[in-house]
A and B are shown apart, each in its own frame.
Chain A
């Protein structure tokens, strides 16, 4: 399928084979990226449309990685439309959004009362966006390092190091909040 000018029947068959089985994963990832169900659905539609148009150039290998790359580019374009001042530095788009959107840590006393699960959730919310994103993609959405690397456009080693640092922060947060002592949740 190296030819963009494939016939419609082949194009439809390739879409059904490579794209349709990934719709649910795409939606889950889109939810993580956009944090909004409506935006997530729009982003997946945009991704599907781009995939349909470009499927003639897809070699059939690693469809999920290919789709995640399309989704990443679609998302960058959507952010650009909303935030045109970011246009001059597209590579930093995700990073900038990350730094602007760090969650606030709630009162630690509440965390203790709500238990371990809530403490972990609060610890994730308190992470800087670039760390929170890898946690969401790998630990919550169960993507591989390679798939997460595709969507955030960084090397696999960067995903790994961010993930490790993020979990170390979560662990420290849990210890500091008293939700966890000596390797065991309280």
Chain B
């Protein structure tokens, strides 16, 4: 057993970093347990000629494909959408695209506005200052004045529009539809010691330049300077509690595989929408036989992804291809509910510049656009650097049958049960996806594409939300409106698990804004935090 700490954070990703940094000014003793290691940017794929090959192997966003020592297996045969993550300091921000849209004000009021799901216990205005603080810490490029959002001010100019952006812009303009340069956590100028983006184009496998804001190079250095300890290669098995129902700490395996116990006054879960319910469900005790913080029975339920589809257009003119950040332009034209469309809620388009030669070839062969054999070269050259697309992100409504549970047989290297994903795409999401695919095709045609194809992104389970939802009613939620467990007064959750609904945008900046908001709420209540 190690000395008692004031705050124990499980997970050093997007939210763990934000909450650690915010709490560090209290001068409490804070320890973060992280199952992975610090990333080494000098070894990121874009430093080598084999950058695309490595993106598909040891830097794959699929943990089941990657199978690194830091990864745990995921049972996902019962889901058409497969989990994407990264286990290490920085978490998913190391392998994300850094597309940084906020939720809309309406996302917090879906029950009131549209009669579906539940309202959040907080609203956009509550989170707005924390969005802004997070933008400053991460460094966000963008452009003020977007009519799709309440006023906000990105700290750097937008990323380059490029040939692909100009083509798409002309397509959107021809249809009279909204588009705007994305808020992107990629530095368009030198920012806080980080170099500006040099268009390496392989953001999703890690940014060797450091222009992309992953928390290992944003929040964590500041938090560590302020005294927070990050303990890497430490995999948590369970959160322990006493007979009074208070969390006492965590049992974990250290880098040598030895079982350890870390005692803590406060435990904060920051393991994402799959990792957090996994640990809570594995934290069974006499007092909590169904897992910790689970009196509502909702831990692991209401799993939400963003069902995603990539629609690509092939142009006669050269596009940006693999060069430049891939997600740099968005459209929220169809974000808000319109009953005429046959579904509730909506979706976002995020532009996708193109791909490198290997992925162009493999995607083309798989999709039938590029043959193997004699005609390969001609067909390849028609696609390579001439393809630009739109990714559709559909809002996914919460459904209790979409779950994270513990697999009955599969375990990780330490014998901890693996998470099992059970998920189906709803009728509403399917109708939304069909609508969005048709609209994306219209944009690409209007932009000048002569050929348009669509591909469901079953590999795209990046956004993991809803499995420990927040709410005021303990029978209908796992944590309260400031992230504290209803059942365990010194247990907090700050990751995507606490989302009530998913919105139709990438969740990272909201996850981090929530973590900052919860940290602020904790600091304001330090004297009576457990009341």
Is B one of A's binding partners?
Answer: no
